[in-house]
Amino acid sequence: HAKHHSSEPWALYDDELHAIAVNRLAIEEDLRAGLARARFRLLYQPIRDLDSGRVVSAEALLRLEHPQHGTLTPAAFLDVAEDSRLILPIGAWVLDEAARQLALWRRRRPDLTVSVNVSPRQVHHLVLRDQVVHAAQAADVDPAGLQLEITERVLLGAGDDVLAELLGVTGAGCGLAIDDFGTGYSSLAYLTRFPVSEVKIDRAFVAGLGGRGRDTAVAEAILGLAGSLGLGAVAEGVETSEQLEALRALGCPRAQGFHLGRPMSAEDLGALLD
Ligand code: C2E
Ligand code: MG
Ligand code: MG
Ligand code: MG
């Protein structure tokens, strides 16, 4: 345990850095073991059409079942997965698993889509198109049933190789959504340069809906922009009936959030489809 003497101001810092490095190695080991021992799983959060209330889509959300620490969310391991490049095999597993599940659901609901979060590395390593095509083929499902979610961070400074990769993905039929829209390095040029089909309004704006702040104006502007560009729009993080009503009043077509359904097992989501 380091003491924070003023004579050695770096002592604590060094110890902390060491602890962080050891922890990162431990997480990396957990990720490798997770892949080898099938400890990853996907939860699915329903996305509802706001006119009908129907579940029209589901977002796949990654979890790691840790033998000691229980169920871990991406906040606990995504950074390490990206830095270690383990996100490449993990991301491939996510796409395979989501496509497999989609194929089962589509027997009952041929119009259902599943949204999959994709990390910048999967795009920048130019493996995304191959991964998604492979996943759809292996599951014998139409790639159009899969939508990929990327953040604005992926597009920041992206070159023509990334553009070509994303055009490959949409050329295969997949939708492409911008996740957490409005919180990143939002550039409206992204919406025209890249083959985007949907924007997801970040829950930071949804949280202030109905109040007198500017969040309502921002949400309205994003919905207007999506509408004029012919893009789909989904509001994220709807937690109250007031927020839901405010979104309906703004003409938001789709939404997800704890108020509309928590992330749940594939089995539970399947039950919602009937
Ligand atoms: P995201 O894509 O923006 O996903 C939404 C996050 O908000 C999820 O957290 C979800 O559980 C949470 N959420 C949903 N509704 C509500 C709500 O009403 N209120 C609040 N406070 N939160 C809500 P989760 O599952 O912990 O995932 C966090 C992030 O990790 C995701 O944010 C996504 O960026 C990333 N992620 C998740 N799964 C994957 C994956 O398979 N691959 C990659 N690369 N990233 C993933
Ligand atoms: Mg997402
Ligand atoms: Mg999001
Ligand atoms: Mg988010």
Confidence category of residue 12, pLDDT binned at 50, 70, 90: low
Mutating to test ligand 1, I would choose from 61, 114, 178 the residue with most ligand atoms within 8 A of its C-beta, which is 61
* Angle (nearest 5°) at CA 40 between 140 and 114: 40
- Looking at the predicted structure, is the pLDDT value of residue 1 above 50? no
CA distances from residue 233 to 10, 26, 219, 252 in whole angstroms, order as listed: 48, 39, 10, 7
Q: Which helix (H) or strand (E) holds 73?
A: none
CB-proximal residues (5 Å) to ion ligand 4: 180
- Looking at the predicted structure, is the pLDDT value of residue 3 above 60? no
Tell me the one-letter amino acid at 187.
S
Q: What mean pLDDT is predicted for residues 246-269?
A: 98
Whole-number pLDDT of residue 211? 73
Report the nearest atom of ligand 1 relative to the CA of 256. Answer: 15
Confidence category of residue 21, pLDDT binned at 50, 70, 90: confident
* Angle formed by the axes of helices 87-106 and 266-273, nearest 10°: 30
Condensed to tens digits (0 to 9), the pLDDT of residues 210-231 reads 776 788 999 999 999 999 999 9
Residues with CB under 6 A from ligand 1: 45, 61-62, 73-75, 78, 91, 94, 117-119, 149, 179-180, 203, 236-239, 257-258, 263
pTM score of the predicted model: 0.94
Contact (Cβ atoms closer than 8 angstroms) between residue 43 and residue 264: yes
- Looking at the predicted structure, is the pLDDT value of residue 10 above 80? no
Report the nearest atom of ligand 1 relative to the CA of 238. Answer: 18
Query: What does residue 69 show for φ and ψ, rounded to 5 degrees?
Result: -100, 0
Expressed in angstroms and rounded, the spacing between residue 118 Cα and the centre of ligand 1 is: 11
Q: Other C-beta atoms within 10 Å of 191: how many?
A: 17
β strands within the chain, DSSP E = 40-49, 55-66, 70-72, 113-117, 146-151, 175-181, 198-201, 232-235, 254-255
Condensed to tens digits (0 to 9), the pLDDT of residues 70-90 reads 999 999 999 999 999 999 999
- Looking at the predicted structure, is the pLDDT value of residue 6 above 70? no
The two three-digit tokens of residue 153, written as one number: 């961070």
Confidence category of residue 124, pLDDT binned at 50, 70, 90: very high
Burial track 226-262 (b if 16+ CB lie within 10 A, e otherwise): beeeebbbbbbbbeeeebbebbeebebbbbbbeebbe
Confidence category of residue 18, pLDDT binned at 50, 70, 90: confident
Condensed to tens digits (0 to 9), the pLDDT of residues 22-52 reads 899 999 999 999 999 999 999 999 999 999 9
Report the nearest atom of ligand 1 relative to the CA of 259. Answer: 18
Half-sphere exposure of 247 (CA within 13 A, CB side): 34
Expressed in angstroms and rounded, the spacing between residue 5 Cα and the centre of ligand 4 is: 39
- Looking at the predicted structure, is the pLDDT value of residue 183 above 80? yes
Which residue reads 């597009």 in tokens?
155
Residue nearest to atom 41 of ligand 1 (CA): 62
CA distances from residue 55 to 51, 114, 274 in whole angstroms, order as listed: 11, 11, 10
